[in-house]
Amino acid sequence: MTSTAVLAPVIAIFGAALTALLTYALNRRAARRERRARTFGEALSVVEDYAEMPYRIRRRPGTLEGRHQLTEEVSRIYSRLAFHQALLDVEAPAVAAAYRRLANEAKAEVGEQMKEAWQKPVRTTDAEMNLEQHYDRRRVDAARKRCVETMRAALGQGPPKLPVRPSGAAESS
């Protein structure tokens, strides 16, 4: 009986310590995953800010101050792209490579669109703010899709699951 009286509390203490250690490890893993997901999302938002610049340039005010603000915004975006690239290089090298491709595609595609937008006349009325032209973002969208897939894999989610449609269901556009 003496060994049972000693063994039961030891097993209980060991079980409690093991449970605490496991809970701690799982919480740290979840916190790390959440931090990485937030980092990935913030990096993607910078690319989206950059991709919106042709529209902002087209709607620019015709003032020196307005032009200055837009060029400062582009400079801040370039700085943020570099920051997120460096952070991903340290945090997740596979994601960093996909993000680099995305940023390069955005710079190539959107950079040309911004150059073209600066050449357009300034819009002066509210009605002119509705842009009849949508900028092509196929290259950026394709690179973003590949980058997001890489991010999902890094987060342990794997490729996205496609919804299953009932047979005979019409495809909507």
Model confidence at 166, pLDDT cuts 50, 70, 90, reads: low
SS3 of the chain: the string is CHHHHHHHHHHHHHHHHHHHHHHHHHHHHHHHHHHHHHHHHHHHHHHHHHHCHHHHHHCCCCCHHHHHHHHHHHHHHHHHHHHHHHHHHHHCHHHHHHHHHHHHHHHHHHHHHHHHHHHCCCCCCCHHHCCCCCCCCHHHHHHHHHHHHHHHHHCCCCCCCCCCCCCCCCCCC
Provide the whole-model pTM.
0.75
**pLDDT given at position 21:** 75
CA 95 to chain centre: 11
| Residue 171: predicted pLDDT | 43
Query: What was the pLDDT predicted at 172?
Result: 40
Model pLDDT for residues 65-95, shown as the tens digit of each residue: 999 999 999 999 999 999 999 999 999 999 9
108 alpha carbon, distance to own chain's centre: 19
What mean pLDDT is predicted for residues 139-150? 96
Q: Which position has the higher pLDDT, 125 or 43?
A: 43
**What six digits make up the tokens of 119?**
């050449």
Average pLDDT, the chain: 86
Distance of CA 48 to the CA centre of its chain: 9
Mean pLDDT of all residues in 145-158: 91
Average pLDDT over residues 110-132: 85
Write down the pLDDT at residue 161. 52
* Tens digit of each residue's pLDDT (9 = 90 or more) over 1-32: 567 777 877 787 878 777 877 777 667 777 78
